[in-house]
Amino acid sequence: MIAIRRPIKGGNRPSQWVNPDEVTPAQLSTVHGQVRTMPSSAAPSTPQRSIPSRRGPVPPRPTGMTRMGATPHSESGFDRPSLTLALVTLSAGVLALLGASWALTRPCVLGSCERLQRVEEMSGETLQELTESPSTDALSEAQQQLEAARRQLDGIPPWSRHHRRSRRLLDRLEGRSQQLQAARSPLGLAYQAALLSQNPPHSIEEWQEMERLWLDAIAELETIDPENPAYPLARAKLSEYRDNLAAVQQRAILERRGQEQVEAAQLAAEVARTQEGQARDLETWQETYASWRNAVGALMRVPPQTTAQRDARQLFQSYGPQLMSSEQRHRQEQAAQTLHQQGLRLADEARVAQDAQQWDTAIAKWQQAIAYMQQIPENTAYSDQRRPLIQGYTNALVQAIAQQQISEAMNRAQADLQRLCNGAPQICEYEVRRDRLQVKLLPEYVSRVQELDRQANRQNNEAAQQQLNQHVRRLIDGLELVSLNTGIRLTVLDPDGEEVARFAGN
């Protein structure tokens, strides 16, 4: 750092020190302007030395100044013009030195240029990232980074030895920026098309305008050179835009198809109204129903998210009830016939199951047959036939239920008797029939009970006698309960086949 002492004009004020880094270009320019206005005859002089000249030696000037800028004494021999010339010369030198110092402090003037290297690395990394990870955000980021790099290069002054290299890099960055801008143009067209596609449905004309924008965007993407850093992004967007173009074209087709379906529905409705006024029987109601069904079917085929769908919804509010009414009239006779046939079929299946003593199946079939017959509509050809059939099927159902109860009672009796007769030794054997139950005590069991009874009497063991009596009582109570639960008469026989007990059931 160089510090220069400059004189302060006026009075005996002390000199000030000037830092070259604090001198601005504007101040330097002002001072140079002042220097250019000085007389051309002025030249610096050095006190106390004689300067050789072609005209001979020049005597030394008196040393009468006590400090720079002070007024000389009258006896010193200095005149005011010489002093002014010396001050101007010194000021010009100071300012020249300050200008040189400022110029040397500009970026990339002395030594290596880290800014230039940093810009090269930053721009290269940015473009590489755009190439490796292409995206719209990466493209915008790359443009911003290139613009920042260009501003950095503009700060390198022309007198820098790196200026030529910086200009070459700046030209390359300018070319890259133009390439990136070329990639942004189709993105803008795509953005316009995307905005138009918001809040569908749209008319056919609007879909055609979107189609034009997508075609223009695709055409511009196809012109992007492979050397463009945005080329991978352009390739990706090209596929995406083609898909969007196909989607827009498909939507335009759907819009036209929707209008055609609405017109077809209106024509079918006119035919249906004419037929409905003349319908009297099953055949004419079938024709009327078919026409209304065609009208509603055309409305249902209108593609969703189209302007035609709104028209279809309004027409459906009228056509829907008409279709339901004609369908009901048409299907009444058809339903009556179908229900009658189903009821007859189920009744036949119920009889087969009943003959096979499959009571659960028989009951279910009878119930279904009755349900079908009950569903036959009034005022049809089969409405008069259903009443006697329902009565007969109900009687058969009651009988099947009774038979099922008997079968369940026999099954319960079988299980209960098996539980009562099991023991060590075996207590009894049994036989289960629909009209009676028979239990026969086994000889070994009877002998064992008699022996235990005699032992208890001999030993006068009242506890043993009481326990034996309780066992016999439980057996008798259990057999009686079986008879009561099943409602079937039960007979108990001794080992010789003689009846020893009888329970009447219900």
Q: Which residues of 305-334 are buried (b: 16+ CB within 10 A; e: fewer)?
A: ebbbbebbeebbeebeebbeebeebbbbbe
pLDDT score, position 185? 87
Q: Is beta strand 16-18 parallel, antiparallel or unpaired with respect to 428-432?
A: unpaired
pLDDT score, position 102? 45
pLDDT score, position 125? 67
The two three-digit tokens of residue 504, written as one number: 């009447």
Domain ranges of the chain: 1-43+91-105, 118-194, 337-405, 408-503
The two three-digit tokens of residue 100, written as one number: 């040189």
Q: How many whole angstroms separate alpha carbon 104 and alpha carbon 110?
A: 7
Alpha carbon 122 to its chain's center = 37
Could you give the C-alpha distances from 167 to 108, 138, 151, 277, in angstroms and in order? 13, 26, 12, 91
**Residue 77's closest CA among 51, 53, 58?**
58
- For residue 430, the cross-strand partners are 439
Q: Is beta strand 436-441 parallel, antiparallel or unpaired with respect to 4-6?
A: unpaired
pLDDT score, position 174? 73
pLDDT score, position 434? 80
Q: How many whole angstroms separate alpha carbon 344 and alpha carbon 300?
A: 38
Sheet holding 428-432, edge to edge: 428-432, 436-441, 489-493, 499-503
pLDDT score, position 60? 46
Q: How many whole angstroms separate alpha carbon 316 and alpha carbon 297?
A: 10
Choosing among 1.20.58, 1.10.3470, 1.10.287, 2.50.20, the CATH entry for 337-405 is 1.20.58
Place of tokens 């002002």: 30
List, for residues 389-412, the tens digit of each pLDDT value: 999 999 999 999 988 888 888 888
Q: Is beta strand 489-493 parallel, antiparallel or unpaired with respect to 499-503?
A: antiparallel
pLDDT score, position 504? 85
Indicate the pTM of the whole model.
Answer: 0.40
The two three-digit tokens of residue 293, written as one number: 């069904």
Q: How big is the chain by its Cα radius of gyration, in Å?
A: 60
Place of tokens 């030529």: 164
pLDDT score, position 264? 96
| Residues in the chain with pLDDT values less than 70 | 1-80, 82-83, 85-88, 90-117, 119-127, 129-131, 133, 146, 148-163, 165-167, 169-171, 175, 280-281, 381, 506
The two three-digit tokens of residue 87, written as one number: 């001050």
List, for residues 446-470, the tens digit of each pLDDT value: 899 889 889 888 888 888 888 888 9
Alpha carbon 286 to its chain's center = 47
**Residue 6's closest CA among 19, 64, 22, 66?**
19
pLDDT score, position 370? 95
